[in-house]
Structure 1
Amino acid sequence: MKKKIHPEDYRPVVFKDINNEKTFICRSTVKTKDFIKINGFSYPLYKMEISSYSHPFFTGEKRFLGKTGPAEKFKKKYEKYKKF
């Protein structure tokens, strides 16, 4: 490998899916403020909203938001402010 091409802060980071609390460790340069202790070691913690553990493509489950779409929900929410 070539020297001096990788970032200095390339380190193991724990990625946590906040939908189902699953975690995995991967090397990354992501900036974090939180830390977590796993197996006696302290790792930087990065919280994600979606990962392969919760994404419908990888889990195979189908999610339906409901019968109405976002436009209908918006109209219903603000129709009380409608001026005639």
Structure 2
Amino acid sequence: MKKGIHPDNYRPVVFKDMSNEEIFITRSTVAAKETIEIDGVTYPLVKLEITSSSHPFFTGKQKLVDTAGRVDKFMSRYGNRKK
């Protein structure tokens, strides 16, 4: 590897999924404003809205969000194609 092009501030950082409260610790250079204490050790905290532990592609659970009847409108138009 080339010298001098990689950051020197790799450190353990806690990433927290806010939708299911799951946390994981990994090494990162991301700047964090908050901290969290886990097992007596203080880590920088990065809050995320969605991770692989809550994303429908990885969990297999699909959420259907109906905004102003759009799903019903779609189903009435295209839902009965197999008949």
**TM-score, length-scaled by structure 2:** 0.74
Q: Give 2:33's aligned residue.
A: 33
Is 1:51 matched with 2:51?
yes
Q: Give 2:15's aligned residue.
A: 15
Give the distance between the partners of 1:57 and 1:50, measured in 2 at CA: 11
CA RMSD of superposed structures (Å): 1.9
Q: Give 1:74's aligned residue.
A: none
Q: Please list every run of 5 or more consecutive structure 2 residues that lacks an aligned counterpart in the other structure.
A: 71-83
- Runs of 4+ that moved beyond 6 A: none
Identity of aligned residues (%): 58
Task: Give the paired residue count.
Answer: 70
Q: Please list every run of 5 or more consecutive structure 1 residues that lacks an aligned counterpart in the other structure.
A: 70-84
